[in-house]
Amino acid sequence: MHVETALEMTMSLGESPLWSVERQTLYWVDINRGAIYAWRPEAASRPDRLVLDEQVGCIALCEGGLLAATASGIVRLRLPFDGRPEPLAANPQWRAGSGNRFNDGHCDAAGRFWVGTLAADEQSPSAALYCVDRGELVRRRSRIAISNGLAFSPDGSWLYHTDSPTRCILRYPFDVDSGTLGEGEAWVDLEALGLPGVPDGAAVDREGGYWSALYGGGRLVRFSPAGELLASVELPCPHPTMVAFGGPGLRTLYVTTATQHLDAVGRRRWPAAGSLLSLAAPVAGLPEPVGQG
Ligand code: BGC
Ligand code: CA
């Protein structure tokens, strides 16, 4: 699989790529810079950028705009960007400039926004997984250090999630009508598979293949619904963060990347780090659900 640089960038922590079929636009964030990007690959121009005054962990689609999980809470942003975030729910783990910021998230098919936090020291089990349903933010899982990898199987019957430092991906039986989770089970163990890095953000394709960006492992991996390793794609940088399907027919995989853990030598060695990467997807993706709100 041939990996290209879709857009040369110098992001610190690119994350949360998200495709809008309606707008034929890719959105993503640079968490550390509080930046949200919007780019139409067809237009072949530079992306639009909105900068918030705090970190932004992830984004989701909603009617007329985007939901953004900023460090301090969930906000709604109208599109085109007008720079005025509308608060929806506060982050209960955030305290005036410190605490656990929001990190990875995705909407389920009913438009609930599932989003987790990240422990300020990236180690202690003080973070949690939340779900925003009809404006109410509810804690759904606890004792997490870095909430990541949230995704759903195409039929909505499984919720995937990882606490990155454990190097394991779990799956939970999921009921989309009620939003309830069953008992979680260990699904993929990077250690047992001899895979490097930690599981970061993910996207599921039409066949139920789970694509995971291995942060520190410099590759994308694809797992079958049974948890078997089906593909491994090497990337030209060590810290890919998340993937999304986009472009015509949802046949392009977009990959965000980070420079935050590279020193000057690492940045020279990996000039593509911090850019937006792309490759032709062997299996197409699914349209992203539109969130409530
Ligand atoms: C977090 C980063 C972290 C990485 C690897 C990302 O989701 O935002 O801060 O270093 O995961 O665990
Ligand atoms: Ca992530």
- Residue 44: phi and psi, rounded to 5, are 50, 35
Determine the pLDDT at residue 98: 82
Q: Say what the pLDDT of residue 149 is.
A: 98
Determine how many CB atoms are found less than 10 A away from the CB of residue 188.
23
Q: What is the mean pLDDT of residues 147-151?
A: 98
Mean pLDDT of 11-28: 98
Question: How far is it between the farthest Cα atoms of the chain?
Answer: 50
| pLDDT at 45 (0 to 100) | 85
**The 136-144 sheet, strands edge to edge:** 101-107, 113-118, 127-133, 136-144
pLDDT at 44 over 90: no
Q: Is the pLDDT of residue 54 over 80?
A: yes
Ligand 1 pocket by C-beta < 6 Å: which residues? 13, 31, 103-104, 118, 146, 148, 164, 198, 200, 215, 241
- According to CATH, what is the number of the domain 3-291? 2.120.10.30
How confident is the model at residue 97, as a pLDDT? 75
Mean per-residue pLDDT, 211-219: 98
- Which pLDDT score is estimated for 280? 98
Is the pLDDT confidence value at 178 over 80? Answer: yes
| Cα 36 from Cα 187, distance rounded (Å) | 32
Predicted pLDDT of residue 227: 98
Window from 81-90, 110-119, 170-179, 184-193 with minimum mean pLDDT: 81-90
Q: pLDDT at position 293, please?
A: 72
Query: What is the pLDDT confidence band of residue 255, given thresholds at 50, 70 and 90?
Result: very high
Burial class (CB in 10 A: 0-12, 13-18, 19+), 48: middle
Q: Which two tokens stand for residue 28?
A: 């993503």
**What's the rounded mean pLDDT across residues 247-261?**
97
Q: What would the pLDDT profile of 71-129 be if each residue is shown by its tens digit?
A: 999 999 999 888 889 999 999 999 877 899 999 999 999 999 999 999 999 999 999 99
Please check the confidence at residue 6 and state whether its pLDDT lies above 90.
yes
Cα of 218 vs centre of ligand 2, distance in Å, is: 14
Please write down the HEC assignment for all residues of the chain: CCEEEEECCCCCEEEEEEEECCCCEEEEEEHHHCEEEEECHHHCCCCEEEECCCCEEEEEEECCEEEEEECCEEEEEECCCCCCCEEEEECCCEECCEECEEEEEEECCCCCEEEEEECCCCCCCCEEEEEEECCEEEEEEEEECEEEEEEECCCCCEEEEEEHHHCEEEEEEEECCCCEECCCEEEEEHHHHCCCCEEEEEEEECCCCEEEEEECCCEEEEECCCCCEEEEEECCCCCEEEEEEECHHHCEEEEEEECCCCCHHHHHHCCCCCCEEEEECCCCECCCCEECC
Per-domain residue ranges of the chain: 3-291
Percent of the chain at pLDDT > 70 equals: 100
Residues with CB under 5 A from ligand 2 (ion): 104, 148, 200-201
The answer to whether residue 200 is catalytic is: yes
Ligand approaching nearest to the C-alpha of 121: 1
